[in-house]
């Protein structure tokens, strides 16, 4: 009975989240400075009203009749990528296909446990470790990760002039960097390529660093919009933070050429921008870990101080173990120690450290030449099979006499293909053909197998042949116009044709 009058006020708590919009607390001090008096007034008002409401609540042991603390918590929007998997799992159709998550599959469509992982795990067993050992293993991981991405023979590596910590895969590394950026450059923003991995925005957003975009993908050519990219880099305020994908861009698979990277690096130097690289696919783009690190090496040659988030989820096949590394290059060892201490402090308040199991695996494989050689072979096999599937899918579509241009399937690199399919076409693929992919038309090529490629090609052909206005989007003429623009700028008309050339 006493709850009756409360129900008419039950809308009030939903106003509480408005506080988020109308003030920004000082993140550094434990006691926040309330500088927005409107928020304070409103907060007091709701407190008074809710106190009035709650006075009637007794120590009732019947929970269902009582107002919940959590009434104002709305259901969260589903994560875009996981939502695809959820829809896929809910589908009872026996021949359904999931082209959503970027996880490597064998030709049966099954997850793969890499041979090197089995070997290394056998050696680790139930680790009998001391805290000191786990510190040593963490340091080893950081050292080996840095060698992998930056090259062993660089002075900055030999002299240990970098700060690094193990992180919870790529996400964790990016998040710690975002928090670090917020802490030491509180007014800075971050520039993402348009488009980028959907979680990047959330990561920097939750760290309270506003995100901006720079042009990247050209929907007409399904390639790089290099002119606009350079324009945006030039027009950004000096000393801006940029997030770059050094290879196998997610979601588009479109990478700049070496020459384009050099131009970008030069412009970054002039503008004094800070390049932060998200390295999720080293080895996966070309099959060669050295080749895939080329963009970063180019920036290092130009003397940039860079930061790097490395993920070992895909290339080492350690998805669920959540292992990665965050590193920041420094001027000297003293600074490296200081920065590392700050990174550690941030991660200590978040989750302390990644698992010893995952860290042990990675440091074992990177520091043991035999296991490393085995891994490099396996990575080449995975990358090559993806390249093969790209060619097969493209051929299948061309054999079906699709009127559209599917060159981009083989031009793009890495795990994903930005198909150019519209949202409606993606929905149709799911509904009618039980093929699932993210709404932006991103296909995980790693899930396309010899067994399903013909079906996938037929399905794509079906939904596109009738729906698409071919003149506007897939026109070969439009593609040529764009390459002319690029060649005027660059003095070259070479576009990168990955996948077609398997011997890289």
Partner 1 sequence: MASTLLSLASATPSASLSFHEINKGKLNRGCMNKEKTNPFIKAKSFGRVSMVVASNVSRFEGITMAPPDPILGVSEAFKADNHELKLNLGVGAYRTEELQPYVLDVIKKADKLLLEKGENREYLPIEGLAAFNKVTAELLFGVDNPVIRQQRVATVQGLSGTGSLRLAAALIERYFPGAKVLISSPTWGNHKNIFNDARVPWSEYRYYDPKTVGLDFEGMIADIKAAPEGSFILLHGCAHNPTGIDPTPEEWRVIADVIQEKNHIPFFDIAYQGFASGSLDTDAASVRMFVARGMEVIAAQSYSKNLGLYAERIGAINVVCSSPEAAARVKSQLKRIARPLYSNPPVHGARIVANIVGDSALFKEWNAEMEMMAGRIKNVRHKLFDSLSSKDKSGKDWSFVLKQIGMFSFTGLNKAQCDNMTNKWHVYMTKDGRISLAGLSLAQCEYLADAIIDSYHNVS
Pick out residues in 214-243 that bind partner 1 (CB under 8 A).
238-239
Q: Convert residues 238-277 into a mask of x (bound to partner 1 by CB under 8 A) and - (unbound).
A: xx--------------------------x--xxxx-x---
Beta carbon of residue 208, minimum distance to partner 1 (angstroms, whole number): 8
User: How many CA atoms lie less than 13 Å away from 229 in the CB half-sphere?
Assistant: 26
Beta carbon of residue 372, minimum distance to partner 1 (angstroms, whole number): 19
CA distances 349 to 328, 343, 344, 358, Å, are: 20, 10, 9, 20
Burial class of residue 329 in the structure, from the number of CB atoms within 10 Å of its CB (0-12 exposed, 13-18 middle, 19+ buried) = buried
Catalytic residue, chosen from 197, 204, 261, 406, is 197
Q: Convert residues 364-403 into a mask of x (bound to partner 1 by CB under 8 A) and - (unbound).
A: ----------------------------------------
Residue of 8, 62, 477, 491 that binds partner 1 (CB under 8 A): 62
Cis peptide upstream of residue 251 (ω within 30 degrees of 0): yes
Beta carbon of residue 57, minimum distance to partner 1 (angstroms, whole number): 7
Give the residue with the Cβ less far from partner 1, 168 or 254.
Answer: 168
Token pair of 366 as six digits:
């990177």
Pick out residues in 138-197 that bind partner 1 (CB under 8 A).
154-156, 161, 168-172, 175, 179, 183-185
Give the residue with the Cβ less far from partner 1, 132 or 466.
Answer: 132
Residue of 141, 313, 386, 417 that binds partner 1 (CB under 8 A): 313
Catalytic residue, chosen from 140, 182, 314, 340, is 314
Catalytic residue, chosen from 255, 278, 292, 440, is 278
419: nearest Cα among 252, 254, 216? 252
Give the residue with the Cβ less far from partner 1, 61 or 466.
Answer: 61
Residue 107 is among the residues annotated as catalytic for this protein: no
Residue of 118, 369, 469, 503 that binds partner 1 (CB under 8 A): 118
Burial class of residue 61 in the structure, from the number of CB atoms within 10 Å of its CB (0-12 exposed, 13-18 middle, 19+ buried) = exposed
Residue of 1, 8, 31, 37 that binds partner 1 (CB under 8 A): 31
Residue of 3, 6, 19, 478 that binds partner 1 (CB under 8 A): 19
Give the residue with the Cβ less far from partner 1, 265 or 385.
Answer: 265
Alpha-carbon distance 123 to 382, whole Å?
Answer: 24
DSSP for 214-248? EE-EETTTTEE-HHHHHHHHHHSPTT-EEEE--SS
Burial class of residue 38 in the structure, from the number of CB atoms within 10 Å of its CB (0-12 exposed, 13-18 middle, 19+ buried) = exposed
- Residue found under tokens 């006493």: 2
80: nearest Cα among 433, 441, 457? 441
Give the residue with the Cβ less far from partner 1, 94 or 122.
Answer: 122
CA distances 372 to 257, 289, 308, 362, 364, Å, are: 28, 12, 21, 10, 9
Give the residue with the Cβ less far from partner 1, 350 or 400.
Answer: 350
CA distances 308 to 166, 175, 252, 270, 276, Å, are: 12, 12, 20, 21, 6
CA distances 46 to 3, 17, 57, 493, Å, are: 18, 12, 17, 64
Residue 278 is among the residues annotated as catalytic for this protein: yes
Alpha-carbon distance 311 to 141, whole Å?
Answer: 12
Beta carbon of residue 500, minimum distance to partner 1 (angstroms, whole number): 28
- Binding residues with partner 1: total (CB under 8 A): 118
What backbone phi and psi angles, to 5 degrees, belong to 386?
-65, -40
Residue of 352, 466, 469, 472 that binds partner 1 (CB under 8 A): 352
Pick out residues in 456-495 that bind partner 1 (CB under 8 A).
none
Give the residue with the Cβ less far from partner 1, 78 or 431.
Answer: 78
Give the residue with the Cβ less far from partner 1, 50 or 367.
Answer: 50
Which strands make up the sheet holding 190-194, listed edge to edge?
A: 162-167, 324-329, 307-311, 274-279, 241-244, 190-194, 211-215
Site membership for partner 1, residue 11 (CB under 8 A): no
Beta carbon of residue 145, minimum distance to partner 1 (angstroms, whole number): 17
Active-site residues, by number, are 197, 278, 314
């Amino acid at each position: 009975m006493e709850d009756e009058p409360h129900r008419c006020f039950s809308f009030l708590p939903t106003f509480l989240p408005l506080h988020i919009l109308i003030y920004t607390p000082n993140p550094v001090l434990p006691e926040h400075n309330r500088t927005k008096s409107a928020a304070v007034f409103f907060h007091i008002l709701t407190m008074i009203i809710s106190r009035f409401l709650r006075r009637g609540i007794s120590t009732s042991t019947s929970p269902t009749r009582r107002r919940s603390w959590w009434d104002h918590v709305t259901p969260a929007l589903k994560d875009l990528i996981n939502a695809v998997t959820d829809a896929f799992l809910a589908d009872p159709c026996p021949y359904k296909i999931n082209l959503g998550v970027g996880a490597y599959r064998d030709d049966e469509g099954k997850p793969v446990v890499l041979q090197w992982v089995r070997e290394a795990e056998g050696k680790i067993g139930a680790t009998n470790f001391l805290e000191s050992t786990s510190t040593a293993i963490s340091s080893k991981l950081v050292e080996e990760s840095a060698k992998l991405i930056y090259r062993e023979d660089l002075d900055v590596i030999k002299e240990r002039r970098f700060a690094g910590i193990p992180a919870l895969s790529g996400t964790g590394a990016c998040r710690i960097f975002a928090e670090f950026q917020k802490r030491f450059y509180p007014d800075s923003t971050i520039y993402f390529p348009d488009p980028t991995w959907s979680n990047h925005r959330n990561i920097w957003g939750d760290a309270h660093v506003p995100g901006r975009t720079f042009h990247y993908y050209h929907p007409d050519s399904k390639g790089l919009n290099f002119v606009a990219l350079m324009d945006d880099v030039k027009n950004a305020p000096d000393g801006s933070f940029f997030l770059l994908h050094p290879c196998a861009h997610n979601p588009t698979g479109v990478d700049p050429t070496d020459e384009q990277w050099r131009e970008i690096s030069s412009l970054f130097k002039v503008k004094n921008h800070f390049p932060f690289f998200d390295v999720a696919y080293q080895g996966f783009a070309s099959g060669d870990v050295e080749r895939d690190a080329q963009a970063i090496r180019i920036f290092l040659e130009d003397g940039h101080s860079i930061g790097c988030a490395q993920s070992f989820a895909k290339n080492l096949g350690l998805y669920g173990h959540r292992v990665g590394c965050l590193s920041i290059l420094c001027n000297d060892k003293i600074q490296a120690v200081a920065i590392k201490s700050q990174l550690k402090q941030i991660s200590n308040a978040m989750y302390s450290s990644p698992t010893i199991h995952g860290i042990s695996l990675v440091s074992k494989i990177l520091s043991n030449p035999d296991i490393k050689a085995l891994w490099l072979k396996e990575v080449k096999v995975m990358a090559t099979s993806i390249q093969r599937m790209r060619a097969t899918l493209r051929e299948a579509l061309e054999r079906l006499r699709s009127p559209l241009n599917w060159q981009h399937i083989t031009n793009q690199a890495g795990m994903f293909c930005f198909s150019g399919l519209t949202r409606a076409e993606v929905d149709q693929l799911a509904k009618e053909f039980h093929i699932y992919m993210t709404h932006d038309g991103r296909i995980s090529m790693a899930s396309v197998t010899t067994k399903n490629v013909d079906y996938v090609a037929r399905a794509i052909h079906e939904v596109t042949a009738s729906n698409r206005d071919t003149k506007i989007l897939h026109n070969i003429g439009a593609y040529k116009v764009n390459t002319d623009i690029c060649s005027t700028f660059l003095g070259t008309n070479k576009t990168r044709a990955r996948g077609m050339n398997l011997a890289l």
